[in-house]
Amino acid sequence: MADFYFADDYRLDQSPTREFYETFLKGFVHKHNNLMGVIQGFSSLILYDDDINEEVRESAQQMQDSSKIASSLNQEVLISAGCSRCDDGTASVTDLMTYWKDKAGEICQAAGVGLQINSRDGLPRVKGDGSKLSEIFFHLVRNAAEAAAEVSEGSVAVDLFPPGEASPGTNVDLFVRNTSVPMSEEDVKKAFEPFHTSKGSEHFGLGLTTACVISGQMGMRLGLRHADGTTTAWLAMPQEG
C-alpha cells in the first residue's frame, strides 16, 4: 500500500518579504486584467460589425475568448499564490455537506462518472473558513471526476470520518477517492505542482495547487496517494477546541 504524499512544502511562511510579493502579484494581475479588458472591448467592437468576413470574425472571437480565459487564470493565480484571505473561525462540515453533495453531483454528472458519498453523523466543527473549505472540496472533487473520466466506468467516492475513526488524533478526515489510470510516485508528487496537468491545455493545472495552499493557510494537511488503480486525496481538518 502506497504512503500518502503530503503537500507540506506548499505551506506559505510568514517571511518579511511575503507582503511585498503579495502586493506585487496583486498589482501585476490588476494591470494584466486592464489589458485583457481592452482586448475584450475592441474584439467586441469588431464582432458587432455584421460586414466583416468569417476569417476576421473567427480571429476576433478567439481573441475575446482567450482574454476571458486569461482573466479567469489571473484569479486562480492569486488564490493559488496565497493572496486570498482565509477568515479565522470554525465551520460545520455537517452543515456544508448539503451544499457539497449537490455540487459534487453536478461535477461528476458533467464528467460522466458515478459518485458515492459517505458522511458520518454528528461530526464536530473544524477550525477554518467555511467558504475556503468548500473551495478545497470542489477542487478535489473536480480533479477526481476528471481523472475518473479517463477510465472505463470511472467513479468518485467521498468519505467523512470523525476524529479517531480513520486516523489517530483529533482531526476530522475527508477522503476523496477516484478510479484512475496508473500513477507513479513521481506523478503523485508532481500533481501538486503549479501548472502541472495531464488533462490538456484547456486546464490551468492549478486545482490541487490551490487546494494545498488554502489547506496550509488554515492549518490543515492535504495528502495524495495512488494504489491499486485508485487515487485518494486526504484532507485532515483540525477539530474545534
Entry pTM: 0.84
Q: Where are the domains of the chain?
A: 18-80, 90-238
Return d(Cα 109, Cα 147) in angstroms, integer.
13
More confident of the two residues 82 and 171 = 171
> Is residue 222 classed as helix, strand or coil in its secondary structure?
strand
Question: Would the pLDDT of 1 be above 50?
Answer: no
Which residue's entry shows cell 470520518? Answer: 161
Task: Please give, one letter per residue, the 3-state secondary structure of 142-156.
Answer: HHHHHHHCCCCCCEE
Question: Would the pLDDT of 178 be above 90?
Answer: yes
What CATH number labels 90-238?
3.30.565.10
Cβ(102)–Cβ(141) below 8 Å: no
Comparing C-alpha atoms, which of 84, 69, 68, 66 is closest to residue 26? 84
pLDDT (tens digit per residue) in 19-43: 888 888 889 888 989 999 999 998 9
Q: Mean pLDDT throughout 62-74? A: 89
Comparing C-alpha atoms, which of 232, 233, 143, 151 is closest to residue 196? 143
Cβ(80)–Cβ(209) below 8 Å: yes
Q: Mean pLDDT throughout 2-18? A: 84
pLDDT (tens digit per residue) in 108-167: 999 999 999 999 888 999 999 999 999 999 999 999 999 999 999 999 999 999 999 999
Return d(Cα 195, Cα 80) in angstroms, integer.
10
